[in-house]
A and B are shown apart, each in its own frame.
Chain A
Amino acid sequence: MPKTPSKTTAKTHPARELVFGDLWEYDPAPETADPKMKKKYDLFINGEFVPAKSGKYFPTINPADETKIADIALAGANDVDAACKAAQKAFTHVWSKTSGQERGKYLYRIARLLQDHAREFAIAETLDGGKPIKESRDFDVPMAAAHFFYHAGWADKLEFLAPGRKLSPHGVVGQVIPWNFPLLMLAWKIAPALATGNCVVLKPAETTSITALKFGEICQEAGLPKGVVNIVSGAGETGAAVINHPLTTKVAFTGSTEVGKLIMRSLAGTEKKMTMELGGKAANIVFDDAPLDQAVEGIVNGIFFNQGHVCCAGSRLLVQESVADEVLAKLKRRMAVLRVGDPMDKNTDIGAINSREQLERITALVKSGVDEGAELHQSACKLPTKGFFFRPSVFANVSMSHRIAREEIFGPVLSILTFRTPEEAVEKANNTAYGLSAGVWTDKGSRILKMSTLLKAGVVWANTYNKFDPASPFGGYKESGFGREGGKQGLLDYLKIS
């Protein structure tokens, strides 16, 4: 019993700790630089910004205060057709005739330009999507640039990917990305596609189009040949038009498993190649020998990073029974000092939920958790009166059959389950239709490797969580999708092998 403090001692001599709570408020530290945004964004087709043929626009709002930021052109089927044709023309006449080294040089330029404009991209990302500025500044934008930098170098070295085989690009690739990491997901999609010699038509998520359209400006600035990259904004219908267009012979999708299946069905009668990066319900497994303070930081990062809008979020905490009480106590204490609020404030840990729709979905799932008998703990922080915010939430006493343990919540909501043996942990971790990622916290290297072997997940983080790198392939098992993004493994999905 060395690890759990004796309860009787705790009662008579309460441990002294310094919890300042809201005794002293932080001064606001807002990021105020100019994001250089336009009031109105047109589609980026064939190297130019053009209005939608229908003339329709839809508003995009700041989820932190619900004010309108800009109007975004709504691409219809005929706009998507124009984009696909532009991409095909660029592929046939220019891009397929551009050497690997020259393609790489364009990607290097894009990487550098993203670094040059990093600050304005970070602010635009936070304004449009609601994520804390410290995340868009320190993670999203630098990582997006890193992806272009990494893939740039591959463009003239593709023959090392499949020695002895002939590799060729697909031509036009249709890509549909989600709203949780708008610019980074664009980079994950466009960088490998261009490095392998494809041209792209990309549809950003309807709530987060701005950085994608700003990326069009980067393409112009880089002198990228017209039509190599086309950005068509809109909602589901626009995405369907991209995916079903006869010219897009390869489709790459990141989003929910539900929509992934829909796309798979709609393409069943075609020979299009697909990669799917879908949902997850990752287990983050904490053994009793883990460094618990470090683990608690990892748990917090695993579930509250980007408001939990992360497909690989560590949303199921599996903690060994002997340390469960201690972990929950530490976690509650840590949650009490998480700063929820204005995403533009540099001290904010948790920003705004991306949309009202998502907030409603999270609220409904949390309600189901309470109704099904799990024990809800929420931090007592003050939430802004305007905008979409949700308290960091943790459910204890969750059982495997609860909806909150099975369905992807995509919000700052953690479900805690316990286990006794490593076998039970593996059994519970793998008992899901998903298989995107997992976390393991232990002091034993051999146990890390054993657990990694047994967990049915595409990415396993040991004593860390939510780490990403362009050189590290990312993607899921089972209903979390197929194909990889990043690393040498990610490139082949954009090439035909003969």
Chain B
Amino acid sequence: MTRIHITKTPKCYVGGAFIRSESGRVTELRDSEGGFLANIPQCTRKDLRNAVEAAAKAGPGWAKRSAFNRGQILYRLAEMIEARGNELRDALVMGGAKGGDATREVTTAIDRIVHYAGWTDKYEQVLGSVNPVASAHFNFTVTEPVGIIGVIAPDASPLLALVSLILPAITSGNCVVALASTTQPYPSILLGEMLATSDLPGGVVNLLTGFRHELIPTFATHEHLRALSGVVNADDRKTLRLGAAESVKRVHLLKAEETIDWFADGRQGVEEIRALVEFKTTWHPVGA
């Protein structure tokens, strides 16, 4: 007698917990041959707002962690993914990637996390400065996280692109509410499970699945999202920027209509971190 296989109910990772959409809606996930795999939560704007609330709770604590501690936690995330790399690889293959490409996407994603783990206690020394002003002041510029970042991941390279967009944000102490690839959401479900075991405080990264057209307007106008980062088409760029104008949100969008090589080294680094920090300059008096 063959044993009945246990299928998994995919859940989104929000506020450190695994949730289904408050709407109770799901979309069927099918493999490249059309076979049924699982029901993926179809998150709503209410789910997005809840995720922002979770991020708002986690934010101050995460930003206050020492840079060294954030680095250790990100490195721990790489350790957790490395151990379950095959599972992620299978998820990518299931979505249509060739075996070799899937392996490469997983290993590049892990290496990218290690890259940013190393940046946590260094970017400040690259981006900040002591400024030689012409008065008796110790004048220095440091960075601070912007706050909660809305991330909208593309369909191509669903794991690597998502990781590449999230990591520079959390490296500097921001929190993230991310919408995963619409066509290939499953790697984000697995990523959530790995985040949950990585020592990353709950709420720092929140991963949603669902339809972009349902969530983009809320990403655009939610005033507690202080920056938007992602890959979207021309119409969505306009929607996001129009919404962003209402609360002077920072917007960094890549074009969905252009091919982006997420494997390139140029897709990681301190400039990606710079895009999601604020600069604060302090004039401290010098003298007795």
Give Cα A52 to B33, complex, Å.
67
B68 at the interface (CB under 8 A from A): no
Asked if A452 is at the interface (CB within 8 A of a chain B CB), the reply is: yes
- From A79-87, A124-132, A263-271, A342-350, give the one contacting chain B: A263-271
> In the complex, what distance in Å separates the CA atom of A334 from the CA atom of B137?
25
Residues of B within 8 A of A469 (CB): 131, 133-135, 139
Q: How far is the CB of B25 from chain A (nearest CB, A)?
A: 30
- Please name all residues of chain B whose beta carbon is closer than 8 Å to the beta carbon of A448 when the two chains form the complex: 282, 284
Whether, in the assembled complex, B250 has its beta carbon less than 8 Å from a beta carbon of chain A, the answer is yes
- Chain A contacts with B in 449-498, Cβ cutoff 8 A: 449, 452, 457-464, 467, 469, 471-475, 477-482, 484, 487-489, 492, 497-498
Contact between B246 and A261 (Cβ–Cβ < 8 Å)? Answer: yes
**Could you pull out 27 A-B pairs where Cβ atoms are within 8 angstroms?**
A165-B269, A264-B248, A265-B242, A268-B238, A268-B245, A445-B284, A448-B282, A452-B280, A458-B280, A459-B280, A459-B282, A459-B283, A460-B280, A469-B131, A471-B139, A472-B133, A472-B141, A473-B141, A473-B281, A474-B281, A478-B226, A478-B247, A479-B248, A482-B248, A487-B281, A489-B279, A497-B271
Residues on A with C-beta less than 8 A from B133 are 467, 469, 471-472
Contact between A268 and B131 (Cβ–Cβ < 8 Å)? no
Which residues on the A side are within 8 Å of B101 (C-beta)? none
B266 is an interface residue with CB less than 8 A from chain A: yes
Measured CB to CB, the closest approach of chain A to B240, in angstroms, equals 8
**Which secondary structure characterizes the binding site on chain A?**
mixed
- Asked whether B248 lies within 8 Å of A268 as measured between CB atoms, the reply is no
Q: Is A278 close to B, CB under 8 A?
A: yes
Q: Which one of A146, A278, A462, A474 contacts B282 once the chains associate, using CB atoms below 8 Å?
A: A462
Closest A residue to B64 by CB, please name it. A453
A487 and B285 contacting across the interface, CB-CB below 8 Å: no
Q: Which of B87-145 contact A (CB under 8 A)?
A: 127, 129, 131-135, 137, 139, 141
The minimal Cβ–Cβ distance linking B128 to chain A, given in whole angstroms, is 9
Which single residue of chain A is at the shortest CB-CB distance from B143?
A489
Q: Are A257 and B248 in contact (CB under 8 A)?
A: yes
Interface residues of B (CB under 8 A from A): 127, 129, 131-135, 137, 139, 141, 226, 234, 237-238, 241-242, 244-248, 250, 266, 269, 271, 274, 278-285
Identity of the chain A residue whose Cβ is nearest the Cβ of B126 in the assembled complex: A163
- Beta-carbon contact of B245 and A264 below 8 Å: yes
Interface centre among B133, B234, B282 (most CB of A within 10 A): B282
Is the CB–CB distance between B248 and A489 below 8 Å? no
| Residues of chain B within 8 A of A182, CB atoms compared | none
Evaluate contact between B285 and A463: CB separation under 8 angstroms: yes
- For chain A, the count of residues having a C-beta within 8 Å of the partner chain is 48
Q: Which of B245, B281, B285 contacts A459 (CB 8 A)?
A: B281
Chain B residues with Cβ below 8 Å from A477 are 278, 280
Further 7 A-B residue pairs, CB within 8 A, beyond A162-B271, A261-B245, A460-B282: A268-B238, A269-B237, A269-B238, A464-B283, A487-B129, A489-B127, A492-B274
Q: Among A261, A464, A472, point to the contact of B281 (Cβ < 8 A).
A: A472
A14 within 8 Å of B (CB atoms): no
Closest to A455 in B: B280
- Please tell me if A276 contacts chain B, counting CB pairs below 8 Å: yes
Measured CB to CB, the nearest residue on chain B to A434 is B248
Closest CB in chain A relative to B286 CB, distance in Å: 10
Bound together, the chains give a CA A4 to CA B80 distance in angstroms of 62
Q: Tell me, yes or no, whether A216 is within 8 Å of chain B by CB.
A: no
Cα separation A265 to B239 with both chains bound (whole Å): 10
What are the interface flags for A104-137 relative to B under an 8 Å C-beta threshold, 1 for contact and 0 otherwise?
0000000000000000000000000000000000
* Nearest CB of A to B241, in Å: 4
B202 to chain A, nearest CB (A): 24
A284 to B182, CA, bound (A): 48
- For A451, give the chain B residue with the smallest CB separation: B282
Within 8 A of B (CB), among A249-296: 257, 260-262, 264-265, 267-269, 276, 278
A487→B271 contact, CB < 8 A = no
> Is the C-beta of A21 less than 8 angstroms from some C-beta in chain B?
no
Q: What is the CA–CA distance of A169 and B135 in the complex, to the nearest angstrom?
A: 32
Taken together as a complex, chains A and B put the C-alpha atoms of A497 and B282 apart, in Å, by 27
The distance from the CB of B127 to the nearest CB of chain A, in whole angstroms, is 8
Chain A residue with the shortest CB-CB distance to B287? A463
Contact of A2 with B by CB under 8 A: no
Q: Does A5 contact B (CB under 8 A)?
A: no
Specify the chain B residue showing the minimal Cβ separation from A263: B245
Among B141, B238, B279, B283, point to the contact of A461 (Cβ < 8 A): B283
CB-CB nearest 5 A-B residue pairs:
A264-B245, A268-B241, A469-B133, A471-B131, A268-B242
- Give A473 to B141 CA distance when docked, in angstroms: 8
Give complex CA distance A162, B126 in Å: 9
Instruction: Please give me the residue from chain B that is nearest to A467 by CB atom.
Output: B283
Q: How many Å lie between the Cα of A469 and that of B282 in the bound state?
A: 12
A380 to B210 alpha-carbon distance, docked (Å): 65
Complex alpha-carbon distance, A452 and B141, angstroms: 11
Rounded to whole angstroms, the CA-CA distance of A260 and B234 in the bound complex is: 22
Residue with the highest number of chain B CB atoms closer than 10 Å, among A261, A268, A467, A475 = A268
Nearest Cβ on chain B to A281's Cβ, whole angstroms? 14
* Chain A residues whose C-beta falls within 8 Å of the C-beta of B241 in the assembled complex: 264-265, 267-269
Query: Which residues of the other chain, A, contact B279 by a CB distance below 8 angstroms?
Result: 458, 473, 475, 484, 489
**Which residues of chain B are within 8 angstroms of A164 by Cβ–Cβ distance?**
269
Which residues of chain A have C-beta atoms less than 8 A from B137's C-beta? 464, 467
Q: How far is it, in angstroms, between the C-alpha of A165 and the C-alpha of B237 when the chains are bound?
A: 26
CB neighbours (8 Å) of A482 from chain B are: 248, 250
Report B-chain residues with C-beta under 8 Å of the C-beta of A475.
279
State how many angstroms separate the Cβ of B27 from the closest Cβ of chain A.
Answer: 30
A460–B248 alpha-carbon span in the complex (Å): 21
Given known pairs A165-B271, A458-B278, A469-B139, the reply for A260 and B238 (CB within 8 Å) is no
Chain A residues whose C-beta falls within 8 Å of the C-beta of B280 in the assembled complex: 452, 457-460, 477
- Contact across chains for A471 and B285 when beta carbons are under 8 A apart: no
B248 touches A260 (CB 8 A): yes
Bound Cα distance from A487 to B133, whole angstroms: 10
Please name the residue on chain B nearest to A257 by beta carbon: B248
Q: Flag if A481 contacts B131 (CB, 8 Å).
A: no
Contact with B along A49-83 (1 / 0, CB 8 A): 00000000000000000000000000000000000
In the complex the two chains form, is B248's CB within 8 Å of A472's CB? no
Look across to chain A and name the residue whose beta carbon is closest to the beta carbon of B244. A264
A residues less than 8 Å from B285 (CB atoms): 462-464
Asked if residues A471 and B284 are in contact (CB atoms below 8 Å), the reply is no
Contacts of B141 in A (CB 8 A): 472-473, 487, 489
The residues of B that contact A484 with a CB separation of less than 8 Å are 279
In the complex, chain A residues whose CB is within 8 Å of the CB of B238: 268-269
A276-B248 contact in complex given A467-B135, A489-B279, C-beta closer than 8 Å: yes
Please, how many angstroms separate the alpha-carbon atoms of A276 and B245 in the complex? 11
Per the bound structure, the CA–CA distance linking A308 and B261 in Å amounts to 50
Contact of B248 among A162, A278, A474 (CB under 8 A): A278
Q: Residues 130-154 of chain A: 1 if any B CB is under 8 Å from the residue's CB, otherwise 0?
A: 0000000000000000100000000
